[in-house]
Amino acid sequence: MTSLHRLGLALGGALLAVAAWAALTPVTFASREELFEIPQGTWARRMAGAKVEILPARIDLTLGVHDVLLLRNLDDVPQVFGPTVLMPGQSFRLPFEVASSYSFACTAHLSGQMTIVVAPQPDSPWERLRWRATALWNAVT
């Protein structure tokens, strides 16, 4: 067996091991919260004419992985944030238990709407593998 063959086998084995880990290990994180914060001074920057968009019009969550939306207002004034008004220093924690698409009227967005898409929990090995591959792809692109 040539060294090239050995290298190929080692690489193949390593890839297989990574794929097995990605498929068999449950997808978990230390926190299931997806945090969005309004930084201090946001209102002042808006008043100065800056275009500040903190909350995307669409947020993707995954049940059992990241299924809690956490909004926090660190600014000095009340802010319309997502579906509601948050006072200075106040946070809003919204858990999701059902995979679906949720639409909220949101005056902070030009479209007047904010959508939260909650995907099902990646339960099977194939779904875990696909979830991790998608997350990796999103991270590098």
Partner 1 sequence: MSRWFAAIVLAMFWLAPAHADETVLKAGVFDPPRTAPEFTLAGSNGAGLTLSDYRGKVVLLGFGFTQCKAVCPITLGTLAQAQKKLGDAARDVQVIYVTVDPENDTPSQLKTYLAHFSPAFVGATGSAAQLAAVRKDYGIAAEKVAGPDGAYTHSSFVYLIDRAGRLRALMPFAHVADDYVHDVRLLLAEP
Q: Which residues bind partner 1 (CB under 8 A)?
A: 24-26, 28, 64, 69, 80, 83-87, 89-95, 97, 100, 102, 104-107, 112, 121, 125
**Closer CB to partner 1, residue 68 or residue 134?**
68
CA–CA distance, 27 with 68 (Å, rounded to integer): 15
In this complex, which beta carbon is closest to partner 1, that of residue 7 or of residue 87?
87
**Shortest CB 92 distance to partner 1, Å:** 6
DSSP string, the chain: --HHHHHHHHHHHHHHHHHHHHHHS----S--EEEEEE-TTHHHHHHTT-----S-SEEEEETTTB-EEEEEE-SSS-EEETTEEE-TT-EEEEE--S-EEEEEE-TTSTTSEEEEEEEPP--SHHHHHHHHHHHHHHHH-
Beta carbon nearer to partner 1, 6 or 93: 93
Write phi, then psi, for 9 (nearest 5 degrees): -65, -40
55 or 86: CB nearest partner 1: 86
Closest contact distance (angstroms) between CB of 140 and partner 1 is 25
Smallest gap from Cβ 39 to partner 1, in A, equals 18
Residue 120 CB, shortest distance to partner 1, in Å, is 12
CB of 73 to partner 1, least distance (A): 11
CB closer to partner 1, 40 vs 113: 113
